[in-house]
């Protein structure tokens, strides 16, 4: 379930033939604070809930939180809840993380903190297990969600690659646009763009549907495991964001 939620941060990209859908809705690309709740299904069963919360404590600062909680039948085997928080600055149109924290509680208790020292050009985990060199544009894996939404809202088009500091390395995420689709959710019906994350050498697949009307917030995410198990996450509630 956590993988499904993280998939939202795996990429959004427009190509030139999406100009009609995005149109003037790109506006300034300024993302408003919001809180979004998602419901996660495996087949016909509700198996979890997820939350996104984006805040602007100061004009040049952000806080973005992703949380998950199991529900229903899956809770019998998987009782862990997770929370991930990215905090940092907004420099022009770039999200620049300063601190990322991951916490897992339940049957397994884990936590990890990453620190981004831009003056020194280093990112490291607080435990001191690893350190990597930083360059402009590197993100943590959570705030990538917001960076992608902002890129689309500003009309940045074409296939894209994002660099993410994670587990002692700088990973690259590649994304491909696959079409447009109308998606129904409990919040409303939206015209969306659909993309897939490109994973070379892997049979796992993640698909995301993002709504230009909601500043390109993902309204549906599907993740297919190697064994064919499919999880679907659908927007269930939204606060603080008005349609464009």
pLDDT in tens, 28-38: 567 999 999 99
**The predicted structure's pLDDT at residue 192:** 94
pLDDT in tens, 57-95: 999 999 999 998 887 666 555 667 899 999 999 987 889
Instruction: Residue 151: give the domain boundaries.
Output: 2-239
In-domain check, residue 244: no
Place of tokens 């994002």: 162
In-domain check, residue 57: yes
Domains in the chain, number: 1
**The predicted structure's pLDDT at residue 75:** 58
CATH of the domain at 136: 2.40.360
Q: Which residues of the chain have pLDDT under 50?
A: 5-27
**The predicted structure's pLDDT at residue 27:** 46
As a whole number of angstroms, the distance between CA 49 and CA 105 comes to 15
């Amino acid at each position: 379930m956590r993988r499904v939620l993280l998939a939202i941060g795996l990429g959004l990209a427009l190509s030139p033939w999406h100009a009609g859908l995005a149109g003037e809705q790109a506006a300034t690309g300024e993302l408003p604070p919001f809180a979004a709740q998602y419901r996660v299904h495996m087949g016909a069963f509700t198996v979890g809930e997820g939350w996104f919360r984006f805040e602007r404590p100061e004009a040049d600062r952000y806080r973005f939180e992703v949380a998950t909680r199991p529900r229903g039948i899956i809770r019998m085997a998987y009782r862990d809840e997770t929370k991930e928080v990215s905090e940092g600055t907004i420099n022009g149109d770039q999200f620049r993380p300063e601190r990322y924290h991951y916490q897992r509680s339940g049957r397994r208790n884990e936590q990890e903190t990453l620190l981004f020292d831009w003056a020194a050009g280093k990112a490291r985990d607080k435990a001191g297990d690893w350190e990597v060199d930083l360059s402009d544009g590197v993100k943590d894996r959570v705030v990538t969600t917001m960076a992608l939404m902002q890129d689309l809202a500003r009309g940045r088009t074409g296939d894209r690659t994002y660099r993410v500091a994670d587990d002692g390395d700088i990973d690259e995420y590649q994304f491909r646009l696959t079409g447009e689709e109308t998606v129904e959710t409990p919040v409303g019906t939206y015209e969306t763009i659909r993309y897939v994350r490109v994973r070379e050498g892997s049979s796992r697949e993640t698909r995301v549907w993002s709504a230009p009307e909601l500043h390109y917030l993902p309204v549906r995410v599907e993740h297919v495991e190697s064994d064919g198990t499919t999880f679907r996450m659908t927007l269930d509630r939204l606060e603080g964001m008005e349609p464009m």
